[in-house]
Chains A and B, each alone.
Chain A
Amino acid sequence: MDTQIKGLVYDIRSFSVNDGPGIRKTVFLKGCPLRCSWCHNPESFSFKPLKWIKDEKTGTFSVTKTEIIGNFYTADEIVEEVVADIPFFEQSSGGITLSGGEPLSQAEFVYQVLLRSQQNGIHTCVDTSGFAPWKDMEKVAGVTDLFLYDLKLADPDLHKKHTGKDNQIIIENLMKLRFLKCDLHIRIPLVEGITDTTDNLDGLKKIIEKLPGLKRIDLLPYHTIARMKYRRLNLPYDLEEMPEYPLEKAEKILQSFGSAAEMVTVGG
C-alpha cells in the first residue's frame, strides 16, 4: 500500500458536532474547483499552501507571525490523530469527516485515510460538493459510510454563475451514488436571493425526489463569519453586505421540505 502519498490539509478539528453523526474529527482538505460566492472557507480555495499574517498576542505584547495555511500530511499521520478520539466516536457513533475545500480533488489521499480509518473500526464520512470525476467518487465511496452531499442551485446557468462551474457532473454523480451502499445526507446552503428562491428550492426538491429513502437534509443558513477571512486574504467578497440568514425564514423553508427525507434540520 502506498502510504507515502501526501494530502494538503489546512485544519483538523476535534469535537466537531456539525459534520455528520456523533462526535467527529473533521479534516479539512485544501483546494476546491468551485468558487461559491458565499463560501466561508476562502483559505481553502487554492491547491497550494498559503501564508497569512497573524497577530499573536500576549497581554499588550504582540508578535506578527506568518501562518502557513495548508500542510502536507501522510495518511498515517492523519489516522494517528484520528485514532486518539476513538473513545468519543464509539460512545457517540461518531467518526472521521473529510471536508474541504473539495476532498474528492485529493481522491487518492482521501481513499488512503478513509481505508485506514475503516480498518480501525472508525465510521467515515465525506463532505463533498459532488464536483469530481465519477471514478474518483466511486473509489472513495468504497471506503465511505456516509456522504454529506451539497446541493446548491438546480439551474445549470445559475450554478455556473454563483459557483463557477456547471452542475451537470454533480447531479450525474448523485444519481450514480444513490445506487451504492453508502448513506447519504443532502446539505443545502441558504443564501438570500441566491439559493432560497422558490424556483431554486422547487428545482432542488425535484432532484431530491429521485433519492428514495433519503435519511436527512440539512439546511445551512448563511452566516457572516467569513468576512474577516476575505479581508485577511485580500480577496474580493461579493457578499460583503449580506446579513446573517434570518432564522424564521429558514424554519419556513424547513416546513416546505416536509417529508422529503426522514429528517430535515436547520443548521445540521
Chain B
Amino acid sequence: MNPRIKILREKSLKAHPSLSAERALLITEFYRDRLDASDAVPVQRAKSFEYILKNKSLYLGKDELIVGERGPHPKATPTYPEICLHSIEDLDIIHSRTKVSFFVDEKTRDAYQNIIIPFWKGKTQRARLFGAMNDEWKQAYDAGIFTEFQEQRAPGHTVAGKKIFETGMRDYISRIETIELHIQQQNPSAETQAKLAQLEAMRISAGAIIAFARRHAEALEVQIKSETDPHRQDELAEMIAICHRVPENAPRNFHEALQHYWFIHLGVITELNPWDSFCPGRLDQNLYPFYREGIERGTLTRERARELLQAFWIKFNNHPSPPKMGVTAKESNTYTDFSLINLGGLKEDGSNAVNELSFLILDVIEEMRLLQPSSMVQISKKNPDQFVKRALQITKTGFGQPSFFNTDVIIQQLLSQGKSLTDARNGGASGCVETGAFGTEAYTLSGYFNLNKVLEITLHRGINPENGKLTGLPIEKDPMDQEELYKNFEKQLQHFIDIKIKGNNIIEKLYAENLPVPFLSLIVDDCIINARDYNAGGARYNTSYIQGVGLGSITDNLSAIKKWVFDEKLLSMDELREVLSGNFEGHEKLRHRLIHDTPHWGNNDDKADRFAVDVFNSFYNSVNGRPTYRGGVFRINMLPTTCHVYFGERIGAMPDGRLAGEPLSEGISPVQGCDINGPTAVVLSAAKIDHIKTGGTLLNQKFAPEFFKNDEALQKICDYIRAWFRLDGHHIQFNVINAETLKDAQKHPEKHRDLIVRVAGYSDYFNDLGESLQNEIIKRTQHGKF
C-alpha cells in the first residue's frame, strides 16, 4: 500500500459514522416549496433527485483519485424521510446505542425538530405501509413471524451488469428518445401517458447525474488553482477531464470506468435507500477490457490499477448503511450495506472467466482489509485451483472474506427460473448469498420468515405463547403422531406465508405508485424499453424473495419431538409445553438429554436430516412460483443476516433444548455446537436439500487456522469446497479464528479493534456485534481441535 492510500484508508477507518440531515432538508425543501403538483409522480421524484444533486455539498478529500460522497463528508450518512421518518427519540437512540451508532449533532436534531418532522409526519412510505396492512398481518409481524424489508428501506438487490460500463448517460437519453417517438405514435391513453412520464423522469435523472459530475469537475478546477505540487496538478487535470466525460459518456479507460461506476453508485443510493445498496457485480469481468487495453497500450501499469482499485475500495467503506431502527436494526444490525464484489466464474461463452485482474483484485481485498465492500469468489468447475487457493490465503487471515460460491449452481438456479443462458452466465450473487441476473433482474428481498416460530405456534395449537393470543390457525387437539404434527405445521406455514405474500403485493404496489426510481431504472434492462419503473416491474426479470431462517433449529426441534414425545414417549405434548413454558427450570437433566442424545442436523444422520428436507420442501412449495404485483414470482432463499438473533428473541424454549430468547441456527448451518461429526458430515447433510430450487443458501463453517497452514493444507480445503460444490452446494464461508482470541476480544475489546469475523452473509467487526452474537460465534463448533 503506498503512503497516499495508507492515509486515505486510515482516514476512512477513523471516521465515525454520523447522521447528516442534508438530504432530508433538501428533499423537504423540494416537496414543500418547489413541487409542481401537476407533474406525474415519477417526474416529481426525478426533479427531487435533480434538486438534491444540484444542491448537496460536495466533498473533495485531499489526494483522492476517485471523487464523490453521498453525504457532506465520509461516513456522514443521509436519511430518507419520504420512506422512514426518524423521531427525536429515534435520533437519541441512534446516537447513543452501543452498537452501530451514528453521531447526531444538535444542528441535525434541530433540523429534524423544526423542519423535517413537521413536514413528513404521517406522509412517509412507512406510515402508508403499516396503514395498508390488515390486522392479521400486523399480529403476525408483531409476533416475530416475519419481518418486512421495505418498511425502512426501498426495494434494492440489484447489481450492475456489464452494460453500465459500456454506456454513457447520453446513450440512455437517446434510447429514451427512440422509445418516446415510438409511444407517441400510439393512440394516447392513460397507459401511454404514464409511460411518457416515466421516460421523462428517466431523462431528467440522467441529466441530473451528468450535472452532478460536472459540479465535481468545477470544484476540482478551483482546487487545481491552489495546488502547488506539479504531480498532483497533473492528477487533478486528469480527474477534471474524467468528471467532464463520465458518466455522460461511456468510459474509455480504467480510471474513467471506476469513476463512472462511482457516480452511478452515488446516484442509486441518493435517489432512495435501496437494500442492498448497489453493486458493481462482476468487477474483474466488467473492468477487464479497460485493464487489458491500458496495459497493452502502456497507458496503465499494474501498480496504477492497484492504486485506483484501492481508492475505489475506500469509497465503499466511506458509505455505511443508512441507520436502521426497531426490527430492521435487529434483522440487519451492521454498518455494512451489502455491496458484494464478484470475482471469477464463467464468461458469457461459458469459458473460465478468471483473469489476471481477478488476482489483482484479490490482492487489493487482502491489503485493504476493509469492512466494505464485501467480496466473494465464484467457483465454477472450470476455474483453476490456483484461484481458489489464492482466495483461501485471504480467508486464512481470519477476515471472513472472500466467501465462496458455486457458479455452476447459480447458473442452474437462474436457468430454472427461466433466464436466458447469457443472462444466467452474466449473473452471480449479491448481498449475502442472493442469486441474481446482473443488470437485468429486480430481485428484492421482502423479509425473513421465522420457521421455528411457526412450529412453536403449532405446538401451542395456534396460540402464541409469548402473549397467549390465538395467532395461527386454531388446532383442536394434540397430534397422535409425528405425521399429524407435521401436517399441522404445514397448515400453519401456508397460513402465514399467505399473509406475508398478500402484504408483499400491497407493499409492491405502494412502491410502484409512490416511490418510483427513475434513475435506477435507467441502468437496469429493460426498464427503458418497457417505459416502466424498476419498482413497477420494468426489469426483464422480477423476483420477490422470502428468506427462510433457522433450518438447523427446526430440524433439531422436529427430531427431538419425534424421538422423545412419539418414539420414546418420555413426555407428552402437555408435559413438553409445560417444560418449555418454564424454560426448562427444574428440568436441566431433561434439557441435557435433549441436547446431547437427539439426532442433530449437520451430522449426515438421516434421522435428523429428513426433517430438514421436509421443511425445506414445504417452505418451497408454499412460496415458489406465486405471482407478485410487479409481474414476477415469489421464490425462497435461506439466509438470516442477523435475524436469527431477533427471531430467537421472540421464541420461548424449544424441544431441541434451546432456551427462551437464545439465537436460532443461522442460514442452513447446524445449530451452534451440534455438528460433531466434522465438516464433511456438515456438507453431506446440507447437500440433502435441493439448492437449485433456491435463490441462495448460506453455510458457515468455522476452522482453526491450522487447516490453512501450508499449500498442502490449502489444497485440501480447496478440495473440500469443490466436493461440496459437486454436491450442488450454493455457498460456503469460513471463519478462521480460534475461540481463545474471541474470548479475549470480549474481555479486552480495545485490543481487538481490527478483529473482523464472518457473521452470516457478511463480515463485521467483532466489537460491533451484540454480546449474544459474540457468544454465538464463539460457540460455533470449532472443527479440528485435534
CB neighbours of A22 from chain B (8 A):
716, 719
A58 to B511, CA, bound (A): 48
Q: How many Å from the CB of A64 to the closest CB on chain B? A: 11
B726 and A61 form a contact (CB under 8 A): no
A90 to B722, CA, bound (A): 10
Which residue in A15, A25, A56, A84 is a CB contact (below 8 Å) of B783? Answer: A15
A87 and B715 form a contact (CB under 8 A): no
A166 to B758, CA, bound (A): 53
Of B14-22, B279-287, B647-655, B676-684, the stretch lying at the interface with chain A is B676-684
A87 and B723 form a contact (CB under 8 A): yes
Q: How many Å from the CB of A10 to the closest CB on chain B? A: 14
B681 and A92 form a contact (CB under 8 A): no
Given A88-B719, A225-B786, A61 contacting B591 (CB threshold 8 A) = yes
Which residue in B596, B680, B681, B786 is a CB contact (below 8 Å) of A23? Answer: B680
Given A15-B680, A84-B604, A61 contacting B592 (CB threshold 8 A) = yes
Given A15-B680, A88-B720, A92-B715, A58 contacting B726 (CB threshold 8 A) = no
Within 8 A of A (CB), among B661-686: 677-681, 684
**Would you call B595 an interface residue if the criterion is a C-beta within 8 Å of the partner chain's C-beta atoms?**
yes
In the complex, the chain B residue whose C-beta lies closest to that of A65 is B596
In the complex, the chain B residue whose C-beta lies closest to that of A267 is B709
Within 8 A of B (CB), among A50-76: 56, 58, 61, 63
Which residue in B591, B684, B713, B719 is a CB contact (below 8 Å) of A58? Answer: B591
**Would you call B657 an interface residue if the criterion is a C-beta within 8 Å of the partner chain's C-beta atoms?**
yes
**Would you call A198 an interface residue if the criterion is a C-beta within 8 Å of the partner chain's C-beta atoms?**
no
**Would you call B765 an interface residue if the criterion is a C-beta within 8 Å of the partner chain's C-beta atoms?**
no
**Would you call A200 an interface residue if the criterion is a C-beta within 8 Å of the partner chain's C-beta atoms?**
no
Which residue in A25, A58, A92 is a CB contact (below 8 Å) of B716? Answer: A92
B596 and A92 form a contact (CB under 8 A): no
**Would you call A13 an interface residue if the criterion is a C-beta within 8 Å of the partner chain's C-beta atoms?**
yes
A112 to B657, CA, bound (A): 41
B723 and A91 form a contact (CB under 8 A): yes
A15 and B723 form a contact (CB under 8 A): no
User: What's the count of A-B pairs with C-beta under 8 Å?
Assistant: 66
**Would you call A175 an interface residue if the criterion is a C-beta within 8 Å of the partner chain's C-beta atoms?**
no
In the complex, the chain A residue whose C-beta lies closest to that of B784 is A15
Q: How many Å from the CB of A57 to the closest CB on chain B? A: 9
Please, how many residues of chain B have a CB less than 8 angstroms from a CB on the other chain? 28
**Would you call A37 an interface residue if the criterion is a C-beta within 8 Å of the partner chain's C-beta atoms?**
no
A58 and B680 form a contact (CB under 8 A): no
Given A22-B716, A63-B589, A88 contacting B595 (CB threshold 8 A) = no
B679 and A15 form a contact (CB under 8 A): yes
**Would you call A85 an interface residue if the criterion is a C-beta within 8 Å of the partner chain's C-beta atoms?**
yes
Q: How many Å from the CB of A254 to the closest CB on chain B? A: 13
A15 to B604, CA, bound (A): 13
B678 and A13 form a contact (CB under 8 A): yes
In the complex, the chain A residue whose C-beta lies closest to that of B719 is A92
B713 and A17 form a contact (CB under 8 A): yes
A88 to B680, CA, bound (A): 8
A85 and B722 form a contact (CB under 8 A): no
**Would you call B103 an interface residue if the criterion is a C-beta within 8 Å of the partner chain's C-beta atoms?**
no
**Would you call A173 an interface residue if the criterion is a C-beta within 8 Å of the partner chain's C-beta atoms?**
no
Q: How many Å from the CB of B673 to the closest CB on chain A? A: 10
B715 and A63 form a contact (CB under 8 A): no
**Would you call A14 an interface residue if the criterion is a C-beta within 8 Å of the partner chain's C-beta atoms?**
yes
Interface centre among A23, A84, A90, A94 (most CB of B within 10 A): A23
CB neighbours of A17 from chain B (8 A):
707, 713, 716
Report B700-730 CB contacts with A as 1/0, cut-off 8 Å.
0000000100001101100110110011000
A58 to B588, CA, bound (A): 8
Given A84-B604, A88-B680, A23 contacting B716 (CB threshold 8 A) = yes
Interface residues on A, range: 20 to 34
A27 to B723, CA, bound (A): 21
Which residue in B684, B707, B726 is a CB contact (below 8 Å) of A91? Answer: B726
CB neighbours of B592 from chain A (8 A):
56, 58, 61, 63
Q: How many Å from the CB of B396 to the closest CB on chain A? A: 15
A90 and B723 form a contact (CB under 8 A): yes
In the complex, the chain B residue whose C-beta lies closest to that of A265 is B712
B719 and A23 form a contact (CB under 8 A): yes
B595 and A85 form a contact (CB under 8 A): no
Q: How many Å from the CB of A76 to the closest CB on chain B? A: 17
Which residue in A13, A15, A265 is a CB contact (below 8 Å) of B720? Answer: A15
A25 to B726, CA, bound (A): 19
A90 to B719, CA, bound (A): 9
B680 and A61 form a contact (CB under 8 A): no
Within 8 A of B (CB), among A14-37: 14-15, 17, 22-23, 25
Given A58-B595, A63-B589, A88 contacting B678 (CB threshold 8 A) = no
A92 to B718, CA, bound (A): 9
Within 8 A of B (CB), among A86-127: 87-88, 90-92, 94
A85 to B720, CA, bound (A): 11
Q: How many Å from the CB of A223 to the closest CB on chain B? A: 9
Interface centre among B592, B604, B707 (most CB of A within 10 A): B592
Q: How many Å from the CB of A13 to the closest CB on chain B? A: 7
B657 and A58 form a contact (CB under 8 A): yes
A84 to B606, CA, bound (A): 12
Q: How many Å from the CB of B91 to the closest CB on chain A? A: 39
A25 to B684, CA, bound (A): 14
Q: How many Å from the CB of A247 to the closest CB on chain B? A: 12
CB neighbours of B712 from chain A (8 A):
265
CB neighbours of A92 from chain B (8 A):
715-716, 719-720, 723
CB neighbours of A85 from chain B (8 A):
680, 684
CB neighbours of B604 from chain A (8 A):
84
A61 to B592, CA, bound (A): 8
CB neighbours of B713 from chain A (8 A):
17
Within 8 A of A (CB), among B586-600: 588-589, 591-592, 595-596
In the complex, the chain A residue whose C-beta lies closest to that of B687 is A87
Interface centre among B677, B707, B723 (most CB of A within 10 A): B723
B588 and A56 form a contact (CB under 8 A): no
B591 and A91 form a contact (CB under 8 A): no
CB neighbours of A58 from chain B (8 A):
588, 591-592, 595-596, 657
A91 and B680 form a contact (CB under 8 A): no
CB neighbours of A94 from chain B (8 A):
719
CB neighbours of A14 from chain B (8 A):
677-681
Q: How many Å from the CB of B65 to the closest CB on chain A? A: 43
A56 to B589, CA, bound (A): 11
A61 to B726, CA, bound (A): 42
A56 to B678, CA, bound (A): 19
Q: How many Å from the CB of A81 to the closest CB on chain B? A: 9
A87 and B716 form a contact (CB under 8 A): no
CB neighbours of B715 from chain A (8 A):
92
A56 to B595, CA, bound (A): 11
CB neighbours of B588 from chain A (8 A):
58, 61
Report B596-610 CB contacts with A as 1/0, cut-off 8 Å.
100000001000000
Interface centre among A22, A84, A91 (most CB of B within 10 A): A91
CB neighbours of A265 from chain B (8 A):
712
B719 and A15 form a contact (CB under 8 A): no
Interface centre among A15, A17, A225 (most CB of B within 10 A): A15
> A interface vs B, CB < 8 Å?
13-15, 17, 22-23, 25, 56, 58, 61, 63, 84-85, 87-88, 90-92, 94, 225, 265
Q: List 24 A-B contacts (CB under 8 A).
A: A13-B678, A14-B677, A14-B681, A15-B720, A15-B783, A15-B784, A17-B716, A22-B719, A23-B719, A23-B720, A56-B592, A58-B591, A58-B592, A58-B596, A61-B588, A61-B591, A63-B589, A84-B681, A85-B684, A87-B727, A91-B726, A92-B723, A225-B786, A265-B712
> B interface vs A, CB < 8 Å?
588-589, 591-592, 595-596, 604, 657, 677-681, 684, 707, 712-713, 715-716, 719-720, 722-723, 726-727, 783-784, 786
Known: A17-B707, A17-B716. 10 other contacts (CB 8 A): A15-B783, A23-B716, A58-B592, A61-B589, A61-B591, A87-B684, A88-B680, A88-B719, A88-B720, A88-B723
6 tightest A-B CB contacts, nearest first: A92-B719, A91-B723, A14-B678, A61-B588, A87-B723, A14-B680
